Amino acid sequence: EDAIQDSISLMRMHLFKHLIPSFNQTGHVMASADQSATSPGKKRRRSVEGTAPAKDLKKVYKPILKTLDPQLILMERMATLVENLPLDDQQVVLVTSGALKALEIDCNASTATNGDSSLPSQLQHAAIAIITAAFRRYPSHRDTVLEDLFGIIPSLPTGKRSLRAFPVRYSSAASPSALQDFNAQTVGPLLSNGNVPHCIQMMTAVIISLIQACVVRPAFEV
């Protein structure tokens, strides 16, 4: 019980306090605000609001982002935990609300990833897996998950590249090429650029996953 609670707290706190500010490069904004609030004079306030704190904290982002792999492993294990072990109500709320915060990462804002938007999107994919597992196993918490989901909408990134970061896999047809040809003929002409969409928004992926999690296979009597 203690190990489960500590794992949930570690996942949440490392995501909230370290990874999201590092990916979005907002840690220096919070640090500057805290320091300017405690500075007594105007001259001190002006010096604090300069570029020095931002430059100093950008050096911290790189080692923090190196912890992405252990965080992904933790979140993957967390999804397996939610699927296979019973959790109490508080643990379900903590793990789902914590995973939803990963959707606030702007995949295009951070230069610390050297333009690799797949790194933050991996966290979002792992978060979707956790949310979907909880939504499927705990129907009584579905209203809470939806309320938390609507609550983070104002904090979602608005960049064009960040909006469509969930890749669509062409695996539901008889052959991948057949589905691509079908999409090219039906969806392609509706788009301004005429291209087949290969990525969808993270919020769209979450909603589709939650809908699929509610599907129940009927039991037929023989």
**Each residue's pLDDT tens digit, 28-58:** 665 555 555 555 555 444 444 444 456 677 7
* CB contact set of 126 (below 8 Å; sequence gap of 6+): 72, 75, 76, 79, 99, 102
Task: Kindly indicate the confidence band of residue 141, based on its pLDDT and cuts at 50, 70 and 90.
Answer: very high
Q: So what's the pLDDT on residue 138? A: 93
Output 193 or 2, whichever has higher pLDDT: 2
DSSP state of 18: I
Give the mean pLDDT of the chain: 76
Work out the pLDDT band at 201, boundaries 50, 70, 90. confident
- The reported pTM is 0.72
DSSP string, 182-215: HHHHHTGGGSSS-PPP-EEEHHHHHHHHHHHHT-
pLDDT, tens digit, for every residue of 180-197? 666 666 655 555 444 444
Residue with tokens 């967390």: 78
pLDDT for 57-94, tens place per residue?
A: 778 888 888 899 999 999 999 999 999 999 999 999 99
Rounded Cα distance between 204 and 209, Å, is 9
More confident: 221 or 208: 208
- List CB contacts of 42: < 8 A, sequence separation 6 or more: none
